[in-house]
């Protein structure tokens, strides 16, 4: 594989050396790659044809590699994303260095089903990635060279993400583990502010639990987990890797005949947020026989991504744990979209891409935020007259407050 990729994407000329340079090696989808081509003759020679075709290509490589005991499974897909040809006029005698400018290639749109963002994930037994290679060929000079680029992930468009639920409301009966006994009814409302995040953002989550109609059991604790899930498609069973990014547990929730409200924020740790320095970028641009091999020196880039042979998704799990061994924990979850612009200055984002950053907030969550402010003000004014209790990040509210909250009323 190593020798074959060099033969396919690099050709050394006997008469000419070629070097490629880009204005930027970190790119956004739906933008242009600006390419500079430096040609240096090894000796002076006469060019037979003055008009030379220059072919520019962008290729995407997707690889999954998993080792289980002595079994190593490797799968790789390469897709030509885009190709464009230019015709440039050259001098009759080539004796000096030549700089070819005004060569551009468009990065595919995120709506292209084949195109995926640059991706890197490794563990001891897992190696998966999506890498991108820019290739320039001048057939008349029998020369070709390639250089790697990093392509960021844009946020998923709001009209797609709206199809996913950002609010969960349940009002249902609770049975014992074998369904033999009804323990009453529980109601809860769980909401996210939005479903699209940059890993540098906090992820607010609101939870309201009404357990007033439960009989002999209570909600003992509530777990909130931010999780990254890697799935490698492998027959007959997929390989799954789950990584907990943040976890919070709220205990002592057994307030008799009360409504419990939890407001908190999940967040990524600094080690989960990639920082691409100039030295780090060089690791992605170098094209050699190891371009498609495992490279533990590369920063791990893990935006949400659904590829052909693997995917990465981010999930927020909410576990309601009952204080009865005969009752299973209730589970709820949200799938969220994680994007990252890495070192791109937000001010440099073209106007036509700003539509991706129009992210609608959940109306129910917004009404909860407004109510929180109102409740806080009321608490400060009426500390001696209220039954609200602040304890470790959650407050207890009455039934009318709960109904008003889940209906979005102020």
DSSP for residue 399: H
Q: pLDDT tens for the chain, 410 residues: list them.
A: 567 889 999 999 988 999 999 999 999 999 999 999 999 999 988 888 889 999 999 999 999 999 887 778 899 999 999 999 999 999 988 888 999 998 999 999 988 889 999 999 999 999 999 999 999 999 999 999 999 999 999 998 755 555 567 889 999 888 776 667 788 888 999 999 999 999 999 999 999 998 888 888 888 889 999 999 999 998 888 999 999 999 999 986 655 556 888 999 999 998 889 889 999 999 999 999 999 999 999 999 999 999 999 999 999 999 998 887 667 788 999 999 999 998 888 888 999 998 888 887 887 787 766 666 565 555 454 444 434 433 344 444 444 554 454 444 44
222 and 144 in one domain?
Answer: no
Specify the residue for token string 């042979």. Answer: 309
Same domain, 250 and 393: yes
Is there a single domain that holds both residue 323 and residue 384? yes
Q: What sign has the CA pseudo-torsion 300, 302, 307, 311? A: positive
Compute CA distances 186 → 205, 211, 258, whole Å.
19, 5, 12
pTM score, two decimals? 0.86
Clarify whether residues 144 and 268 are in a common domain: no
Alpha-helical runs (H) found in 1-60: 2-9
What pLDDT score was predicted for residue 397? 43
3-state DSSP helix/strand/coil percent for the chain, to nearest 5? 15, 50, 35
Structural domain range at position 217: 158-406
3-class state of residue 370 by DSSP: helix
What is the C-alpha to C-alpha distance for residues 218 and 188, in angstroms, rounded to an integer? 13
CATH code, domain with 82: 2.60.40
What's 181's domain CATH number?
A: 2.60.40.640
Judge if 192 and 218 occupy the same domain.
yes
Share of the chain above pLDDT 90, in %: 55
Choose one of 129, 151, 173: the last residue of a domain: 151
Residue 61 contacts residue 118 (beta carbons within 8 Å): no
- Same domain? 220 vs 328: yes
Please tell me whether residues 19 and 145 are part of one structural domain: yes
Regarding beta strands 203-210 and 26-27, do their DSSP bridges make them parallel or antiparallel, or are they unpaired? unpaired
| Domain identity same for 93 and 170 | no
Q: Are residues 181 and 143 in the same domain?
A: no
Q: Does residue 239 sit in the same domain as residue 359?
A: yes
- Torsion-angle region of 308 (φ positive above 0: left; ψ -120 to 50: alpha; else: beta): alpha
13 with 57, same domain: the answer is yes
Which stretch of DSSP H or E encloses residue 263? strand 259-266
Residues 173 and 260 occupy one common structural domain: yes
Of 122, 151, 180, which closes a domain? Answer: 151
What is the tally of structural domains in the chain?
Answer: 2
Q: Which of the listed residues 124, 151, 178 is the one where a domain comes to its end?
A: 151
Q: What is the DSSP string of 82-117?
A: EEEEEEEE--SEE-S-EEEEEEEEEPPPTT-SS---
């Amino acid at each position: 594989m190593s020798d074959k990729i060099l033969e396919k994407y690099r050709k050394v000329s006997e008469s000419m050396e070629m070097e490629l340079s880009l204005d930027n090696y970190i790119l956004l989808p739906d933008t242009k790659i600006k390419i500079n081509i430096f040609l240096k003759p090894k000796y002076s020679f006469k060019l037979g044809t003055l008009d030379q075709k220059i072919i520019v290509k962008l290729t995407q490589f997707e690889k999954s590699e998993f080792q289980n005991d002595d079994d190593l499974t490797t799968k790789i897909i390469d897709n030509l994303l885009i190709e464009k040809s230019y015709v440039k006029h050259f001098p009759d005698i080539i004796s000096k260095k030549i700089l070819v400018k005004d060569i551009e290639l468009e990065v595919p749109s995120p709506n292209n089903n084949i195109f995926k963002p640059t991706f890197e994930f490794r563990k001891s037994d897992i190696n998966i990635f999506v890498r991108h290679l820019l290739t320039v060929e001048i057939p008349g000079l029998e020369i070709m060279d390639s250089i790697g680029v990093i392509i960021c992930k844009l946020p998923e468009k709001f009209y797609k993400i709206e199809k996913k639920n950002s609010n969960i409301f349940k009002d249902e009966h609770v049975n014992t583990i074998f369904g033999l006994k009804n323990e009453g009814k529980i109601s809860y409302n769980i909401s996210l502010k939005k479903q699209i995040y940059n890993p540098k953002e906090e992820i607010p989550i609101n939870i309201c639990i009404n357990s007033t109609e439960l009989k002999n059991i209570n909600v003992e604790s509530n777990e909130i987990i931010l999780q990254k899930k890697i799935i490698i498609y492998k027959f007959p069973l997929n390989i799954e890797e789950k990584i907990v990014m943040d976890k919070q547990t709220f205990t002592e929730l057994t307030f008799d005949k009360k409504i419990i409200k939890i407001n908190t924020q999940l967040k990524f740790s600094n080690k989960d947020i990639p920082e691409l320095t100039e030295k780090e970028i060089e690791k992605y641009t170098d094209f050699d026989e190891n371009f498609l091999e495992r490279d533990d020196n590369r920063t791990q880039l893990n935006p949400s991504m659904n590829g052909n042979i693997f995917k990465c998704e981010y999930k927020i799990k909410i576990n309601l744990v009952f204080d009865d061994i005969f009752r299973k924990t209730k589970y709820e979850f949200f799938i969220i979209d994680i994007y990252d612009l890495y070192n791109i200055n937000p001010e440099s984002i073209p106007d036509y891409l700003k539509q991706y950053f129009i992210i609608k907030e959940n109306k129910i969550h917004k009404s909860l935020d407004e109510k929180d402010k109102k409740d806080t003000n009321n608490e400060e004014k009426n500390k001696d007259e209220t039954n609200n209790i602040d304890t470790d990040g959650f407050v207890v509210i009455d039934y009318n407050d709960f109904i008003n909250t889940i209906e979005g009323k102020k």
